[in-house]
Chain A
Amino acid sequence: MSINPIVFFDLIASLFIISIALVILAFSYSQLLKKLSASQKTYEELTSSANQKDTDLLENARKKASEIIEESTQKAQEIINDSQIFNTDTKKKLDDALQTLIKHQIAYFEKTSEDFLNEYKKELQVIKNTTLQIATTASKDIEEDTKKEVQDFDSILARETFAEQKVVEEKIEDEYSKAQKQVETYKADMIKKVDDGIFKILEGVSKTALGKTIPLNEHEELIIDALEKAKKTSMN
């Protein structure tokens, strides 16, 4: 098997380039490791220094705190002592002042109450007068309104009564007219019935009388007459 010379040289060139790149990479890595080692050392030194400073600071703070507490306690004791002395005197003065104040206040309240009472009375009187006036006015208004309403009611009642009376009168008149007509009709009917009755009786009597009084030969004549008439009528 034979390899193309061009491909072969290309492969050689590529391997060469890769080798150079690996050498550069290895050098860079070693440099980086050196820098990392140096940095680690610096970090440890800084950490140690910082710890020392922290310890000093804490110690100083503890000392200062103890001093402050001690000083404070002492001052507090002094204040307590002073306040006890102050309390006794002050209490007495305060009581006196309070008594005086109370007296003043009582007097003030009494005066104020009296003033207020007077004012209240005055206001009450004013309200009373106003109310009385309003009530009087209202009473008059109510009276006038009531009178007016009563008058209106009377007027309406009279008007309505008149109208109703008129309607009733009209109805009565109408009913009377109807009743009169009915009576007239009834009267006419009755007269007609009586007339008819009389007529029927008269007719009946006549017929009975005639029927009984006709002799046989007359009957025969009447029958022959009927036949004659029938003949004439049928011929016409």
Chain B
Amino acid sequence: MNDENLIRYDSLKSLKTTQEADSFAELIDSILPNLFKIKDSEFEDILSKTTGKSNSTLIKNLLEENKITQTDHTGIKRVLVQVRDIIKKFKVVKLTVAIDPTEQTISRISEWVYKNYGPGNLLDIETDESILGGAIVSIGGFYKDFSLKKAIGEVFTNNKKDLIGSLTK
């Protein structure tokens, strides 16, 4: 079986942001050296103790998708290594927004990115209240400011004379 075909990008859809991806990669890095030291039955226990529910579920799902049992440490290792490599290949959609995004907001944005750019994209979200709203977007070398601050500034600049005229009347 070809290693490349083991994992689909789709399977990692639950990794929405770069933070989540980094955290998951760190988890894999911590599991791999100790994988052959643990007993066959201990994998799930250790997994639930060392990481959160979402990451634990993701690993289980990945193993299930590839029909690898938790006692097959060799198979587990192969899957985890491949996942780690795939994560490194993910593209990053960088956004600067005016609010601290909630899970719901991140999910909504991630969903839009998935629909429009397909799987294999991670969100890197930065908060800057001064932009007021909207977002500054940076995708694969493309950069554009679509913030509310800029939009208002353009409106004021384009209508400066009229605005000052109306104020000084």
Given contacts A198-B164, A227-B137, contact A220 B108 (CB under 8 A): yes
Task: Please tell me which one of the listed residues B97, B129, B146, B163 contacts residue A202 in the complex, with CB atoms under 8 A apart.
Answer: B163
| Bound Cα distance from A169 to B97, whole angstroms | 66
Nearest A residue to B142 via CB reads A234
Residue B79 interfacial (CB < 8 Å): no
Task: Please tell me which one of the listed residues A210, A211, A227, A230 contacts residue B129 in the complex, with CB atoms under 8 A apart.
Answer: A211
- Chain B contact residue count (CB 8 A cutoff): 32
Nearest B residue to A223 via CB reads B135
How far, in Å, is B145 (CB) from chain A's closest CB? Answer: 9
Residue A12 interfacial (CB < 8 Å): no
How big is chain A's contact interface, by range?
A: 20 to 34
Given contacts A220-B105, A224-B109, A229-B146, contact A207 B132 (CB under 8 A): yes
Given contacts A207-B132, A226-B146, A234-B139, contact A198 B98 (CB under 8 A): no
Point out the residues of chain B lying under 8 angstroms from A195, CB to CB.
160, 164
Given contacts A199-B164, A203-B156, A211-B132, contact A223 B149 (CB under 8 A): no
Contact code string A13-53 (vs B, CB < 8 Å = 1, else 0): 00000000000000000000000000000000000000000
Point out the residues of chain A lying under 8 angstroms from B134, CB to CB.
222-223, 225-226
Task: Please tell me which one of the listed residues B102, B108, B146 contacts residue A225 in the complex, with CB atoms under 8 A apart.
Answer: B146
CB of B99 within 8 A of CB of A219, answer yes
How far, in Å, is B115 (CB) from chain A's closest CB? Answer: 10
Within 8 A of B (CB), among A44-72: none
Point out the residues of chain B lying under 8 angstroms from A234, CB to CB.
139, 142, 144
Given contacts A225-B146, A226-B146, A230-B142, contact A202 B167 (CB under 8 A): yes
Within 8 A of B (CB), among A177-218: 195, 198-199, 202-203, 206-207, 210-211, 214, 216, 218
Residue B25 interfacial (CB < 8 Å): no
CB of B144 within 8 A of CB of A233, answer yes
Given contacts A210-B132, A223-B105, contact A199 B160 (CB under 8 A): yes
Given contacts A198-B164, A202-B167, A234-B139, contact A223 B144 (CB under 8 A): no
Point out the residues of chain A lying under 8 angstroms from B99, CB to CB.
216, 219
| Bound Cα distance from A95 to B95, whole angstroms | 160
CB of A206 within 8 A of CB of B160, answer no
Nearest B residue to A218 via CB reads B133
CB of A227 within 8 A of CB of B109, answer yes
Residue A92 interfacial (CB < 8 Å): no
CB of A230 within 8 A of CB of B139, answer yes
Point out the residues of chain A lying under 8 angstroms from B108, CB to CB.
220, 224
Residue B112 interfacial (CB < 8 Å): yes
Point out the residues of chain A lying under 8 angstroms from B102, CB to CB.
216
| Bound Cα distance from A219 to B105, whole angstroms | 9
Which of A195, A198, A219 has the largest number of chain B CB atoms within 10 A?
A219
How far, in Å, is A125 (CB) from chain B's closest CB? Answer: 103
Point out the residues of chain B lying under 8 angstroms from A233, CB to CB.
142, 144
Nearest B residue to A224 via CB reads B112
Given contacts A199-B163, A222-B134, A234-B139, contact A210 B152 (CB under 8 A): yes
Residue B92 interfacial (CB < 8 Å): no
Point out the residues of chain A lying under 8 angstroms from B136, CB to CB.
226
CB of B146 within 8 A of CB of A214, answer no
Which of A199, A211, A220, A226 has the largest number of chain B CB atoms within 10 A?
A226
In the assembled complex, 14 residue pairs joining A and B whose CB atoms fall closer than 8 Å, in A order, are A199-B163, A202-B156, A206-B156, A210-B132, A210-B133, A211-B129, A216-B99, A220-B108, A223-B105, A224-B108, A227-B95, A230-B137, A230-B144, A233-B144
Residues of chain B whose beta carbon lies under 8 Å from any beta carbon of chain A: 95, 97-99, 102, 105, 108-109, 112-113, 116, 129, 132-137, 139, 142, 144, 146-149, 152-153, 156, 160, 163-164, 167
